[in-house]
Structure 1
């Protein structure tokens, strides 16, 4: 969010005290992670470095072999991180933590048992927004209405406040070029009530009026979408302001009635993936 240059990043690392370092991202961030890890170890040699996200899950062995990384988390991190931190705090055996690869003091690499996906997403705690620079995030989201501002990191103070959140996780499709091929998530949704509750909290706390869902596939379960749309319309009426939102979808899942319902509930953007470069295959 801060868009610090490399000198500023190193100075922050040098001057900051912490217990554990957690780094996440997609595979295109690998070159930055390779640059960052030696700096972290330069100033904090004894601190454990944990890699998460698809960048770690896609190449866990390479990540551990070629970098001063201690642990790689595979899959969803909420339950794994909590268990892992307690084990590290108490200097216990890492072999009992599901969902990780790790390296011991000799450099030997271990792959632990996989962790099952979180079943009830409503039990996932809401983000601790107050520890983040929300003045930047609220004006710098992924998606509409400021489109590509998040890429260059600039802030548009004239735009309405926006926030990213998720309503679903996973994807039932098996595209070989996608991170789901190795993450293995099954498709799950939060309850519509739980999602709209978070939207109302964000409005009342930060006056957010545009929400962009960063789900891989928002429209898979039609019952969920229709119920969600009804609740969003009720929320707009309740707060006296029009809620708008955007999401991702799959072209062959869309119907005229579904699109009309989503539009009527404030949806102003749907992003579709490019399924193939071949018109014949499409």
Structure 2
């Protein structure tokens, strides 16, 4: 039996805006890896970077645990891990150094390591897991336990032999997700998570997943783990896992972390039936697509299952931009899905993406018009981010700047020569949020005047409206000035 120290590599404290939100979720992908190693009979210890103070905490735990093997396993269900933030990369490299100096073999599984294995092998990792990791990790640790140094028979690995980087054949993705060992939930410090959530939000949220991968071909979306394939868990097993989690930790809220929930027709209906039978309805949020939401009965099934919020990848209010992204979705479907969800009492979030090639002020205006017409309850804004391995990245490769990664998830820096400058998009982020809040505030005031909602905070709301009456026109004028700014001279490209 090996002593294995498994750690996640996303430090919430290194991402200031996300840390200020105080919405930590346990690293589910890492917990699946830990569960796999437990099922293989290993002694497994767990390091949770999500709530850790710093890499120094990892180093101290390494000295305490003295593992035979250290596994850095990114939570590949967390969209932030796909962004390969430079702060997290540096943290991972420091974690590798600490484990190696303690005499442990080191394996790493992450989107960034999959894209740049040599970077991590140079830092001291003995193996980089490329693709879906559980089966590869089980075979790798078994080989090391047996004293095998030749890893060429293990699919899904990058490793070194005589100084040369070996890239083994890809591993097929798992099809039967229900056959996987359950996540090692018992290793999570639930009290710490509960304390953060209750202190800042008054409730406690946890996370689950119902599927892996995504079959759609949006050309800006990186798929370093599951590629174009996808697999879906059975609705009943997901409901049963939720029931176990309720017994273990009593969450008040669930985030289903799927890239796209509801891929399989009738899945939501089967899940709602299982939830009702087991009596474990817990409010949840999820990410899906407008066309899936518009399937017959889908919204009613979501409501029955306890859905509170559906986030839609709206991206743009311009059909031209959606088509350029290979989104295979229409602005009409986005509007119809939003309306249908809201009519059922389910809140709607829109993810928006600015800065895609071909987007000008007219297309930005169409996105603003979409927001004003559909009136989602929440919005999330980013700029187009060229992720390695995507069609979009290949298209703009020659325009990439010296800076190749955001430092933190709120960076909003343009990494390529987009339609406008970084300064423009950072101010656009502010403008869109301010305009969104203004229109939501005006709707609230109309409800107060009509007697549809109780008075409360209306004086503050009036003050905000008055402020926006001055600030928004000035902000719009500033946007038009910023769009005239020349792009900075492209500097020499840095290493990836």
In the alignment, which residue of structure 2 is the partner of 1:37? 96
In the alignment, which residue of structure 2 is the partner of 1:263? 303
In the alignment, which residue of structure 1 is the partner of 2:351? none
Alignment match of 1:251 (pick from 277, 287, 290) = 290
| Structure 2 portions without partners, runs of 5+ | 1-49, 75-80, 323-496
Could you tell me how far apart the structure 2 residues matched to 1:186 and 1:259 are? 25
In the alignment, which residue of structure 2 is the partner of 1:136? 192
Could you tell me how far apart the structure 1 residues matched to 2:98 and 2:117 are? 20
Residue 168 (str. 1) matches residue 211 (str. 2): yes
Residue 73 (str. 1) matches residue 73 (str. 2): no
In the alignment, which residue of structure 2 is the partner of 1:89? 145
Consecutive aligned runs of 4 or more in structure 1 exceeding 6 Å deviation = none
1:279 is displaced (CA, Å) by 4.8
Alignment match of 2:273 (pick from 206, 215, 230) = 230
In the alignment, which residue of structure 2 is the partner of 1:193? 236
Decide which structure has the larger Cα Rg and report it. 2
Q: Deviations over 1:250-274 (max 9, x none)?
A: 1232227422321232100112225
> 1:75 touches 1:185 (CA, 8 Å); kept in 2?
no
**CA spacing shift, 1:229–1:184, aligned 2, 3 Å:** same
**CA spacing shift, 1:7–1:111, aligned 2, 3 Å:** closer
More helix by share: 2
Could you tell me how far apart the structure 1 residues matched to 2:224 and 2:96 are? 27
Alignment match of 1:280 (pick from 316, 320, 330) = 320
Could you tell me how far apart the structure 1 residues matched to 2:225 and 2:218 are? 10
Give the secondary structure class of the aligned counterpart of 2:70: strand
1:7-46 aligned within 5 A = 7-25=56-74, 26=81, 27-28=84-85, 29-42=88-101, 44=102, 46=103
Alignment match of 1:60 (pick from 110, 117, 121) = 117
Could you tell me how far apart the structure 2 residues matched to 1:109 and 1:37 are? 18
Mean CA deviation greater in 154-163 or 77-86: 154-163
TM-score, normalised on structure 1? 0.83
Could you tell me how far apart the structure 2 residues matched to 1:185 and 1:130 are? 32
Residue 124 (str. 1) matches residue 173 (str. 2): no
In the alignment, which residue of structure 2 is the partner of 1:101? 158
Could you tell me how far apart the structure 2 residues matched to 1:223 and 1:155 are? 33
> 2:99 touches 2:105 (CA, 8 Å); kept in 1?
no
In the alignment, which residue of structure 1 is the partner of 2:14? none
In the alignment, which residue of structure 1 is the partner of 2:171? 115
Q: Deviations over 1:149-178 (max 9, x none)?
A: xxxxx4425734332111111100123332
1:183 is displaced (CA, Å) by 4.0
In the alignment, which residue of structure 1 is the partner of 2:53? 4
Residue 177 (str. 1) matches residue 220 (str. 2): yes
Number of residue pairs matched by the alignment: 260
Could you tell me how far apart the structure 2 residues matched to 1:63 and 1:175 are? 28
TM-score, normalised on structure 2? 0.49
> 1:213 touches 1:246 (CA, 8 Å); kept in 2?
yes
